[in-house]
Every structure is written in C-alpha cells, then in structure tokens.
A and B are shown apart, each in its own frame.
Chain A
Amino acid sequence: MAAAVELEGVNVTFGDFVAVRDANLTIEPGEFFSFLGPSGCGKTTLLRTISAFIEPTRGTVRIGGRDMKGIGPNKRPTALIFQNLALFPMMTVAENIGYGLRVRGVPRHERDEKVKNLLIQIALPEHGHKLVSELSGGQRQRVAIARALAVEPSVLLLDEPLSALDLKLRQHMRAELRAIQKRVGITFIYITHDQGEALTMSDRIAVMNAGVIEQVGNGRSVYAEPRTPFVASFVGENNAIRGRITQAANGTATLDTPIGPLTGRNPVGLPAGDEALIFVRPEALKLGGDPPSGFEGEALDVTYEGSITHVTMRVRTGQKITLSLGGGAAGILPQPGDMLKVGFEPQDGLLLARPERS
C-alpha cells in the first residue's frame, strides 16, 4: 500500500525567506501524525503545501503514491480543518456538513442520509437545522470535523483546531479526535505548538524548527531520545548545562561544567574536547544521596502540587535549574532558601552538540 503522504525534498520559499527547508517524510496510511513546533517554524506552510494552497518551490508532494504537482485544493483527496474552523455562517449545520457533497453533485436524498449519519456520529443529531452561530465552541469543532469527513478524504489535515478552546474542552477534544481517527481509520495530519497535544494523540511526531524537520519519531522517542538540542528543550521541560567533554567512552561521556563534572549518555558519539550541552529532565534530578553526577544550589521557589512538587533552584553560575519531585519526597520538602544537593544517574543525562550560534 502506497504511503498516505510523501514529501520529497520539499522547499518553500517566500522571496528570501525559507519557510520550509528540504522536508523529507513518509506518512503511513491510518497514521495520526503531528507536526510540532513553535509558531513561525513552517508547520502551517507545510500543511498548506500538502493541501495545495501553496505550491512547493522545489520538491515533490505525493498523496497515495500520486504526484500532486498542479493538482488544486479542490481536486486533492485531502480535507483541511482550519484554525478558526471557517464554517459557513450563512448555512445551517446540515448545509455546512453537506457542502462538499453538494459540490460533488451527490443527489439530495443520498446527501441527507449521509449528513444525518455524520450528525449522529458527532453526537449532534438534533442540531442539523441550526445556524453555526447557535452552537458552542466544542459543537462547532465537531461540525468542522464532520464537514471535512463528509467528503471522505484519504488524509485529514488539522491546523491547530483546538487552540481556541478552553483547557477542559481541549483535553476532552483530544480524546475525541483520537477516537474519531481510530473509527474512520484515515490518516490525520495534525499541526500544533502544544507538545501535550502532540504527545497524547499522535502515533508519530515531526518536531520542526525554523523550517527544518529536526526529528521524527513516536512520542516516547522524541521525549526520551531527542537528537537535537532544540528537540530536547522544546518537547517537555529540560535543564541544559554547558561544558566541555573531558572523556568519552562506551556511549557515555563526562562533561566539565562550571558546576562540576557531569556524566551522561553520549548517543551521537561526541569526542573529548568538544563543546557540548548536557540535558537533564526535572524529574530525573533527585535530592540528596550520592549519585555519580551532582551539584549544589539554593532553592528559590517551591510549588507543591500534590503528586508533584516543583522546585526552582539557583546554582553557582546563576543558572536556574528546575526539579520535579515525585510523591516519594513528600516527607522532606525543601524550603526556599535551603541549600540543596541534587544529582542524577548517567542514563538520565543526555549529551548533545552545542548549536553554533548559542
């Protein structure tokens, strides 16, 4: 079976500005695939390239194995859900959902039948005659999804559709989107700047920065095995400490930093003498004990959240380091002003090359 979407050397430039640089990617049929990145990283441009609103400056977009060059948005087997949904305000909910069928010349009774089914699927069976403006935010969301699904696309593209909703609804809609995707079984390509959304919903995630796809993988691998400093710091909280590698062997390396020697994994095999960053997740830092790598600092801020306690501490260099202490530490919560001794195991530290410009 051909890949749902294939990008081959896709470049998009606007004048001198490179919005997408050399994107190569294969998205499998039935996959829930997310593009994750900060705003302006080119993820929306890439989505609009797949849906044909933007022609790539160079490179090929293939959908279902077919080269999409010169095929307009109205002829592609994709459906796009816009950030602001772009429902038609002068049409009823049923007319909105049936719009794609109407332009395809589907006969009225068949269309009505299908719209009715979709309304039941999105749990709004009684709302067909209403105007879009009479619906709540979450209901509109579902109507937009139904409108896109009505044309039976092979790929559904979603451009941050949840960003306008409040937190509670957003979390609910995540689960619902995932359930819809499982039920209809088509490929979803989802754009978001929210790592929580990407991690909870996606089969695979492409992390983008400044027009470049930095890493592709499932949620666990981008979180636990980031391959670039950007991915390490953008996906989840992370502490980055600079230093120079003093010794490297057997996939681990020791970094000489202003707050002492720190040892971590060295997956890319950086040689001794290189400038590098060591990343340590807040939850990997432990209080006290005698771990291989450790440093001291003053607690500045302690936020108790029940199952977790967040601690911000300042080390000798003035850098702020965050810790997330699990429930086990509940007995001995540090106080602001305390001097803390913290450390981590070598498998919880990750060495990556320092990007040139920082």
Chain B
Amino acid sequence: MSGGLTLVVALPLLAALILILLSRLERRKGAIAGPGFFQRNGVAVGLYLAVAVGFWAFFIIVLPQLAMVDLSFRPKLPPSQMGGPKDIFTLENYRYFLFGSTTSTANWNWLHIKAFFLSIGVSILITLLNLAICYPLAFHMAQSAPVARLRVLLLLLIIPYWVNEILRAFAFRVLLSSGGVVNKLLMGGGLLDAPIDFLGNDVGLYMGLSYAYLLMMIFPLYNAIESLDRNQIEAARDLGAPWWHIHAFVVMPHAKPGIASGCTLVFMLSAGALAAPLVLGGPRTLWFTPIVYDRFYQAFNWPQGAAYALILLFACIVFVLAVLRMFRLSLGEIAR
C-alpha cells in the first residue's frame, strides 16, 4: 500500500479516535452525565457515527482547507517544477495582496485592498438591511399571524428560491437595466426623462444580494422569536411599555441567538457571494470574490487565489467572532 493511501485511510480513523477520546475525557471531568455514547447508540451505530463523522470532518473540512493553506504559501510554478528546489514556502502571495506586483510603482495594491474592504463593508450593510427587512416579518409570522396566513407567507417566501441563484440575478438585471421594466414604467409614467442607471450604481447588486440570502435571516429569527412566551410581550405591555421598548428589551434579547446566527450567515454568504457580483455588479465596482475567481481561472495563479480566499475567510471569521463577543454569545448558543 502506498504512503498516500495509508494516510487517506488512517487519518480519518485517527480523527474518529480523537472524537471518542474527547468524549471519554469530558466524561471523566464530569461534564456529561447519563449513559455513554456507545451505550445509547449501540456499538455498531456508535462506530458508524464516529467513523462517518470522522471521515466527513476530515475529507470535507480539514483536508481541503489544509491544502489551501499549504498552497497559499507556495510560489506559482509550472507542474514540472512542483516539488523541486524552487518549491519553497513563501509569503509572496500575501505580499501581493498588500503591495501588488514587484514591478508596479505604487506603494500599495489599492485596487485589491479597496475591493476587499468594499466587500466587507457592503456585506455588513446588507446584513443590517436584511435584519431590518426580516425582523418585522419574522415577528409577525412567529407571534401574530394566524396559522393559515403563516402557511401562505412561508410558501411565498420559499417558492421563489426554487429558481436558481444565477437566474434570479439575471432577472434583477432584466428588471433594472436601462431598458428594463422598472425604468420603462417610471418613464412611461412621466416620472423620469432619462433612465436611471440602477446597475451602474450597484443598486441591482445590493438588491440581488439582499434578496439572495433573505431566508437565511428569516428562519433563524422566526425560530428564535417563536419560542418567546406571548405572555412576556403582554406583561411588558401591561407594565406600560411602548411597542418599541418591548422589541428592544424583551423580544430582541430573547431572539439574540437567532439574530446573531442570521446575521453571521448572511454576512458570510454575501461576503463570499460570486454570482450576484458577477451578474449585477456595476462596471466601476470591483467586488472581492470575482478577484479571487480571476486569480484562479484568469491568471491561473492558484497559490495567489488560495491566499486571497484565505484572507477573505480569515476576515469573515474575525468579524463573526467579534460580533459574537459583542452580543456576549458563545458559538454553541447560535446553534440552538
């Protein structure tokens, strides 16, 4: 058996073993009580779960990311030289993000840095916008809508997502382009003399991104608000609270885990979105994800692409952890 194959089989098993040992350790510390993992699930199912989760964790999560991390620290080389004397660890790819090509005259690689911060900044705005749109809807669905209306609302929310993301993005393009439906209506109604360039001004991009991840916000919010005891809202009202106070100090603190998980999902997804920026982005806007895409498929510079992707990933994780810290939540609570 070759060394590679041994690794492929042995490492997931090792991961499974680590999982089992971890649970043993927790048990010894007294963190878990009750019947053990294998007692509860039986040996066969227990083994299957441990090995399956081990494989999954290893192949889908750990291995590809590790490969990316490794790749991002290597120079771009033709296949013949890979593994050769020139294949050394280097920070070149990260340097490029900050300072650009060694032949450029500028001090900083403003083009990419700007695109990066624009992506992050706009993603934050879109997350907040999404929260503002979804919170009233989720509250209505969770606390005041009769069952029949709730079903209709849920269907109306879900059905549009049967259309795939690219098609939805193009639909926005058709709606918002200079000769599109919205401009025609506005001009036909005599409200405008010349069409508004929605796409060039990125209105289309923001709309597309906000819409694309609406459900990711609605459902965590709905779940969180739904579990709030109605009596608490009434108690607050009875004690004299105006409606905004009830939302700010009773509903929202209760829904905090839902708000945090919705926000982190929407933020992560919009910062990493590719289709919407490609289809709906204005000509003057450079989003960060298309740059990453170009590193891989236009420049054929996979190490640099890997470095860029990791920078984005790292920024997102830092942002999410910062938000959790701000809300005083632990990771476990969002998953509730």
Contact = CB atoms under 8 A, between A and B. Distances in A.
Interface of A: 51, 53, 72-75, 78-80, 82-84, 86-90, 99-100, 103-104, 147-148, 151
A100 B239 contact: yes
Contacts of A147: 239
Contacts of A103: 236, 239-242, 245
25 contacts: A73-B234, A73-B237, A73-B238, A74-B239, A74-B241, A74-B242, A80-B235, A82-B234, A84-B231, A86-B231, A86-B234, A87-B235, A88-B235, A88-B236, A88-B250, A89-B254, A99-B239, A99-B241, A99-B249, A100-B239, A103-B242, A147-B239, A148-B239, A151-B239, A151-B240
Nearest to A100: B239
A84 B229 CA distance: 10
Which of under 10, 10 to 19, 20 to 34, or 35 or more describes the interface residues of B? 10 to 19
Contact of A99 (B231, B234, B236): B236
A147 B250 CA distance: 15
Given A84-B229, A86-B235, A100-B240, 11 more contacts: A53-B234, A73-B237, A74-B238, A74-B242, A82-B231, A86-B231, A87-B235, A100-B241, A103-B240, A103-B245, A151-B239
Most buried by B among A80, A86, A100, A104: A86
Contacts of B249: 99
A97 to B, nearest CB: 10
The 9 closest A-B pairs by CB, nearest first: A86-B231, A100-B239, A86-B235, A103-B241, A90-B253, A82-B231, A74-B240, A80-B238, A73-B238
Contacts, number: 57
A73 B237 CA distance: 6
Nearest to A82: B231
Contact of B237 (A74, A87, A88, A148): A74
A73 B242 CA distance: 10
Nearest to A159: B231
B232 A78 contact: no
Interface of B: 229, 231-232, 234-242, 245, 249-250, 253-254
Contacts of B231: 82-84, 86
A291 B304 CA distance: 108
The secondary structure that dominates the B interface is: helix
Contact of A79 (B239, B253, B254): B239
Given A88-B250, A90-B254, A82 B235 contact: yes
Contacts of A84: 229, 231
Contacts of B245: 103
Contacts of A51: 238
A103 B238 CA distance: 11
A90 B253 CA distance: 7
A106 to B, nearest CB: 11
A177 B236 CA distance: 22
A103 B254 CA distance: 18
A44 to B, nearest CB: 12
Nearest to A53: B234
A141 to B, nearest CB: 14
Contacts of A87: 235
B145 to A, nearest CB: 18
Contacts of A99: 236, 239, 241, 249
A45 to B, nearest CB: 14
